[in-house]
Amino acid sequence: MKEKLTLMIPGPTPVPQTVLQALGRHPIGHRSGEFQEIVLRTTEQLKWLHQTNSDVLTITGSGTAAMEAGIINTLSRGDRVLCGDNGKFGERWVKVAKAYGLDVKVIKANWGDPLDPEEFRKALQEDQNNNIRAVILTHSETSTGVINDLETISRYVQTNGTAITIADCVTSLGATNVPMDQWGLDVVASGSQKGYMMPPGLSFVAMSERAWEAQKRSDLPKFYLDLKSYQKTVQKNSNPFTPAVNLYFALEAALNKMQEEGLDAIFSRHDRHKKAAQAGMKAIGLPLYAAEGFGSPAITSVAPDIIDAEELRKVVKEKFDILLAGGQDHLKGKVFRIGHLGFVSDRDVLTAVAAIESTLQLLGINKNKTGEGLSAATAALQ
Amino acid sequence: MKEKLTLMIPGPTPVPQTVLQALGRHPIGHRSGEFQEIVLRTTEQLKWLHQTNSDVLTITGSGTAAMEAGIINTLSRGDRVLCGDNGKFGERWVKVAKAYGLDVKVIKANWGDPLDPEEFRKALQEDQNNNIRAVILTHSETSTGVINDLETISRYVQTNGTAITIADCVTSLGATNVPMDQWGLDVVASGSQKGYMMPPGLSFVAMSERAWEAQKRSDLPKFYLDLKSYQKTVQKNSNPFTPAVNLYFALEAALNKMQEEGLDAIFSRHDRHKKAAQAGMKAIGLPLYAAEGFGSPAITSVAPDIIDAEELRKVVKEKFDILLAGGQDHLKGKVFRIGHLGFVSDRDVLTAVAAIESTLQLLGINKNKTGEGLSAATAALQ
């Protein structure tokens, strides 16, 4: 049904009406006092969200731009880095690092499995001369729905050598606890169309003092993504280049809503939805793709063995107006992903489980299981 | 008066209600068929606007990102480039070129004066070994309100040597004639918050075949701004990274409006407004900043000698709800700028002239001239 489509993909995520209304305001001058107040307020709110006293900088661009900025502002040509790779985004950071001539050592895990923190510990301990300048990894791997143990890996980085931790928190920030200062994260990158409950177009880079120390040595060329210019201007509540003014309106409205709800409530909501989606799928008889215990609070990946994932997605969309995400690359047709990230309520998750269950019934598959997914999800939501 | 402010700055520019409404729609999946249709349609419309058969690529970022992309995708470390510099944006492209280790020869003109095409011709003719790989310049220099003779300079580039022309058309495209193919421009960069009549956040790079040939040799590092990935994905009506989906909605609505009006009508409207603003200011006795005959169709810069430009701007804003732009850098207080770019009607220009004239009367300056600006602007609008 036209205009009824609900997004349950890992981004863009659903956007509250108040945020859309803010977005649709007439733009104002980006050098005006009124806009400076918005920059001031949102910067403070972003620090709250990141649980940090460090700078949080706003870039007009995608999450990839933010992550690239984190890498190219803290490193120099030839620097050795450890890069975690257990999915499409891990792969991407390896590509970015190589594009800038970094010396990349990849720590891999199979898609669906988490990165093993022990491998990071070993590699760091073996690095007697402290040649490793950074450890780059993805917290919530959007392509597989796996959450990596960023806390432990960051602790190993801090206790072994002098590297900084550069973390892609694009689908974890605003969905689960990412206490930047407490965990000792040096660069945290995120994007607006995720936990922020707003449309895509803005991304965010938080930089610790250690990251700024590394920045002073960095020699990789950059201009639009030169974070020094963002740091200088944010101190004057401004931006180095014309920002997406209307997306800033939306950002403020969205962060207001997040502060009203509170971090603990946001995190427990996402945790509840993760459990409900997982329980629902298991009860229907659809295997989860992520290794047990490592499901992301933002995305539940499902690897159905009784139906083509794309066929299921198609019917769920056409019959029930719910957009699920497909599998990426070699997972296409093998995996579908339920996004439960951002502006998602218990009803949305229940509905997704119910629609998937009903679709299997309509297609004549899994006849005996109808209702079990709903029941299990309901129990998990309590 | 709150919510009454009219933007007459060179960006963000006023946005039509239909465009704002499109912006405020709920986002859709950026890999969906519906979104692919938007990419397909807007890409065709962008080619129409650029008067080109070449690729026009859409980046989520500011005009600087688009211009930087044009430079770093077509050049290699150590390449010699000629860079025109007669204002803040000319200065910026020199900085970008130097940040990437290019060998920059700067051709300067004083702020307020146009670049001299003869200097480009000479430099190109003296370059016997064709070492100059690119000529980089700004068409409409937003900081001074000067339009450079891009057509002539581009012709000299084509007839002398093998360099490509990389043009910042951020405040000229959609305001005045920039026939990319006819003029032989190789890279044309622009931004959404200008002639496009939409909010900031998207920018555009058009690349000629010669630019793509240069791209194959380019060795400067990049990832988010790697245009090859934009070219590959636009062929599938998609984007390499999550784009600002809602700004795409606005883009389509704005380009629809531009096509309804037609290029000739758009250009003659901007020309009329330029003449009206210039005539109005002269009649009031406020000198123009740009050299005679080189005023931009997008921005009229005024250098009042009878009042501080910032004081005038302040009163015009507070009394009459019109935001004029101030002078940048050393021009602060010395110059104000009237933006007449994008969604601007005869009424807006008339109103700006009238408000400036009334402000001078209210402040007790220029008592004898009241009404002369209005009368001259009216005559110019005919």
Same fold, A17-260 and A262-381: no
Average pLDDT over residues B143-164: 98
Looking at residue A121, its pLDDT comes to 98
SS3 B52: coil
Of A15, A201, A242, the CB nearest to B244: A201
> Is residue B369 over pLDDT 90?
no
Question: How distant is the Cα of B15 from the closest Cα of chain A, in angstroms?
Answer: 7
Which of A338, A342, A343, A317 shows the shortest CA–CA distance to A327?
A338
B259 alpha-carbon distance from chain centroid: 19
On whether the CB atoms of residues B79 and B103 are closer than 8 A, the answer is: yes
Looking at residue B366, its pLDDT comes to 76
Q: Do A201 and B68 touch (CB under 8 A)?
A: no
CA distance A63 to B63: 19
Q: Do B323 and A68 touch (CB under 8 A)?
A: no
- CATH topology (fold) of B17-260: Aspartate Aminotransferase; domain 2 (3.40.640)
Question: In chain B, pLDDT over 90 holds for what percent of residues?
Answer: 97
Report whether the peptide linkage leading into residue A117 is cis, meaning its omega lies within 30 degrees of zero: no
Taking all residues of chain A, what is their mean pLDDT, rounded to a whole number?
97
> Is residue A107 over pLDDT 80?
yes
Task: Name which of B119-133, B300-314, B366-380 the model is least confident about.
Answer: B366-380
Which of A86, A227, A70 shows the shortest CA–CA distance to A148?
A86
Residues from chain A that touch B299, judged by Cβ atoms under 8 A, are none
The confidence band for B150, taking pLDDT boundaries of 50, 70 and 90, is very high
Which of A176, A92, A183 shows the shortest CA–CA distance to A140?
A176
CA-to-CA dists, residue A198 to A246, A340, B24, B234, angstroms:
11, 14, 11, 24
Question: How distant is the Cα of B20 from the closest Cα of chain A, in angstroms?
Answer: 5
CA distance A129 to A202: 38
On whether the CB atoms of residues B300 and B278 are closer than 8 A, the answer is: yes
Beta bridge pairs of residue B200? none
As given in the structure block, the two tokens for residue B380 are 């110019």
Judged by a CB distance cut-off of 8 A, whether residue B32 touches chain A is: yes
Looking at residue B367, its pLDDT comes to 67
Tell me the pLDDT tens digit for each residue of B10-41.
999 999 999 999 999 999 999 999 999 999 99
Tell me the pLDDT tens digit for each residue of B237-287.
999 999 999 999 999 999 999 999 999 999 999 999 999 999 999 999 999
Of B11, B30, B65, the CB nearest to A12: B30
Quick count: other Cβ atoms within 10 Å of Cβ A158? 18
Interface with B, mutate which of A3, A13, A26, A100 (most B CBs under 10 A): A26
DSSP readout, B223-252?
STT-HHHHHHHHTTT--SS---HHHHHHHH
Q: Would you give the DSSP letter of residue A195?
A: T
> Is residue B379 over pLDDT 80?
yes
State pTM to two decimals.
Answer: 0.97
Of B100, B199, B200, the CB nearest to A221: B100
Q: Do A223 and B64 touch (CB under 8 A)?
A: yes
CA distance A202 to A63: 8
CA distance A27 to B251: 15
Question: How distant is the Cα of B225 from the closest Cα of chain A, in angstroms?
Answer: 9
Average pLDDT over residues A261-278: 98
On whether the CB atoms of residues A23 and A252 are closer than 8 A, the answer is: no
Q: Would you give the DSSP letter of residue A5?
A: -
As given in the structure block, the two tokens for residue A215 are 């920045």
Looking at residue B196, its pLDDT comes to 97
Q: Which ipTM score applies to this complex?
A: 0.97
Average pLDDT over residues B309-326: 97
Judged by a CB distance cut-off of 8 A, whether residue B5 touches chain A is: yes
Of A62, A100, A241, the CB nearest to B64: A241
Looking at residue A2, its pLDDT comes to 79
Beta bridge pairs of residue B343? none
Return residues 256-295 of B near A (CB < 8 Å). none
Q: Radius of gyration of chain A from Cα atoms?
A: 21
Q: Do A193 and B21 touch (CB under 8 A)?
A: no
Of B24, B60, B64, the CB nearest to A23: B24
Q: Would you give the DSSP letter of residue A218?
A: -
CA distance B309 to B316: 11
Question: How distant is the Cα of B122 from the closest Cα of chain A, in angstroms?
Answer: 30
> Is residue B370 over pLDDT 90?
no
SS3 B306: coil
Average pLDDT over residues B220-232: 98
Q: Which residues contact A104 (CB under 8 A, 6 or more apart)?
A: A80, A81, A83, A94, A97, A98
Q: Do A26 and B11 touch (CB under 8 A)?
A: no
CA distance A197 to A251: 9
The confidence band for B368, taking pLDDT boundaries of 50, 70 and 90, is low
What backbone torsions phi and psi does residue A23 show, to the nearest 5 degrees?
A: -60, -40
On whether the CB atoms of residues A277 and A340 are closer than 8 A, the answer is: yes
- A to B CB pairs, distance under 8 Å: 169
As given in the structure block, the two tokens for residue A224 are 């639009």
Q: Cα angle at B221 between B218 and B224, to 5 degrees? A: 110
Question: How distant is the Cα of B56 from the closest Cα of chain A, in angstroms?
Answer: 18
As given in the structure block, the two tokens for residue B78 are 């150590």
Average pLDDT over residues A5-31: 96
The confidence band for B2, taking pLDDT boundaries of 50, 70 and 90, is confident
Given 3.40.50.2300, 3.40.1010.20, 3.90.1150.10, 3.40.640.10, which CATH number is that of B262-381?
Answer: 3.90.1150.10
CA distance A9 to A299: 8
Judged by a CB distance cut-off of 8 A, whether residue A75 touches chain B is: no
CA distance B382 to B373: 15
Give the residue extent of every domain in chain A: 17-260, 262-381
Q: Radius of gyration of chain B from Cα atoms?
A: 21
Question: How distant is the Cα of B108 from the closest Cα of chain A, in angstroms?
Answer: 22
Tell me the pLDDT tens digit for each residue of B170-199.
999 999 999 999 999 999 999 999 999 999
Residue B254 identity (one-letter amino acid):
A
Alpha-helical runs (H) found in chain B: 17-23, 33-50, 63-72, 88-99, 117-126, 150-159, 180-183, 209-217, 227-234, 245-261, 263-284, 309-320, 346-362, 372-381
CA distance A314 to B9: 47
Question: How distant is the Cα of B16 from the closest Cα of chain A, in angstroms?
Answer: 9
Average pLDDT over residues B220-247: 98
Which of B67, B88, B63 shows the shortest CA–CA distance to B143?
B88
- In residues, how long is chain A? 382
Which residue on chain A is closest to B96 by alpha carbon?
A223
Interface with B, mutate which of A95, A246, A329 (most B CBs under 10 A): A246
Q: Would you give the DSSP letter of residue A369?
A: G
